[in-house]
Amino acid sequence: MTIRVLLADDQALLRGTFRLLIDSCDDMEVVGEAANGNEAVDLVRAHHPDVVLMDIRMPGSDGLAATATICDDPDLAGTRVLILTMFETDEYVAKALRVGASGFLGKYVTTDILLAGIRTVASGEALLSPGATRALITRFLAAPAPGNFLAPPERMHELTPREREVTVLAAHGKSNAEIADDLVISVLTVRTHIQRALTKLGARDRAQLVVIAYQAGLVQASPSAH
């Protein structure tokens, strides 16, 4: 199955570089390019890509607004947003995760990491393992703005003890394989617990599940992240 990718960045040269890289892979292709947020939303609605590589800072409608629009549209539920940014400590990245982005990468990453990131997000997992991403989640999502909860904290009580345990490990940035090793269960069982937690909490994907875990206090901020 070919992963269909949409590029959203105001730098034409960078878009061209990404297109050449992605189109050179047998398992993915670029289906469109956008220079701002409005174009990105229009093209996503037209092409329904699997993944959008979204720059945060663009003229006019930025990547944050576009991400919120895409993730709020039920007709675009099959599209995942992967943020690309030069500003790893930028609070906009954390806000993008709040509104539904599935993760982020710095623009300086290697070719292999970028392609692996696209595949990770396309598979339905969140790109939350890099240390910088965990630091952002800890710093900005552990103390959410009032009224900005993705799910009422009391809904955490709907999780079984095992689902809660798996959610905590996911919130610490562990992959399904790492969680399986820690709990001595199969990767398939981990996926099942994650999926049940997503359903019970109304989370769009693994990224939102992690945000909910922090917002509900299931995972505490690490002082070392500040």
Lowest mean pLDDT among 8-12, 115-119, 120-124, 164-168: 120-124
With respect to residue 49, please indicate whether it lies within any of the assigned structural domains. yes
Q: Amino acid letter at 210?
A: V
The answer to whether the pTM exceeds 0.75 is no
122 and 28 assigned to the same domain: yes
48 and 100 assigned to the same domain: yes
Distance, CA of 152 to CA of 9 (rounded, Å): 35
Of the residues 127, 159, 194, the one at which a domain ends: 127
* Alpha helix (H) residue ranges in the chain: 12-23, 37-47, 63-72, 91-98, 111-122, 131-136, 161-171, 176-183, 187-201, 206-215
Per-residue pLDDT at 149: 63
174 and 220 assigned to the same domain: yes
| pLDDT range class, residue 189, cuts 50, 70, 90 | very high
| pLDDT range class, residue 103, cuts 50, 70, 90 | confident
Enter the DSSP assignment of 147. T
pLDDT tops 50 at residue 129: no
Between 153 and 25, name the one with better pLDDT: 25
Distance, CA of 98 to CA of 89 (rounded, Å): 15
With respect to residue 164, please indicate whether it lies within any of the assigned structural domains. yes
Of the residues 127, 156, 173, the one at which a domain ends: 127
197 and 151 assigned to the same domain: yes
> pLDDT by residue (tens digit) across 130-186?
454 555 555 555 555 555 666 777 788 899 999 999 999 988 878 788 899 999 999
- The number of beta carbons lying within 10 Å of the beta carbon of residue 156 is 20
171 and 195 assigned to the same domain: yes
Enter the tokens of residue 161: 């003890």
49 and 15 assigned to the same domain: yes
- The number of beta carbons lying within 10 Å of the beta carbon of residue 218 is 16
34 and 65 assigned to the same domain: yes
CATH code, domain carrying 102? 3.40.50.2300
Per-residue pLDDT at 205: 76
Share of the chain above pLDDT 70, in %: 81
Enter the tokens of residue 93: 């990245």
The domain containing residue 90 runs over which residues?
Answer: 3-127
With respect to residue 135, please indicate whether it lies within any of the assigned structural domains. no
106 and 179 assigned to the same domain: no
Return the residue matching tokens 């982020």: 104
CATH code, domain carrying 208? 1.10.10.10
Of the residues 96, 127, 158, the one at which a domain ends: 127
pLDDT tops 80 at residue 127: no
> pLDDT by residue (tens digit) across 35-51?
999 999 999 999 999 99
Residue range 61-66: average pLDDT? 88
The long-range contacts involving 162-167, CB below 8 angstroms and separated by at least 24 positions, are: 162/193, 163/193, 163/196, 163/197, 163/200, 164/197, 164/218, 166/190, 166/193, 166/194, 166/197, 167/194, 167/197, 167/209, 167/213, 167/218
Ranges 8-12, 104-108, 123-127, most confident: 8-12
Beta bridge partners of 5: 30, 51
Distance, CA of 8 to CA of 15 (rounded, Å): 8
29 and 119 assigned to the same domain: yes
Residue range 115-131: average pLDDT? 76
97 and 173 assigned to the same domain: no
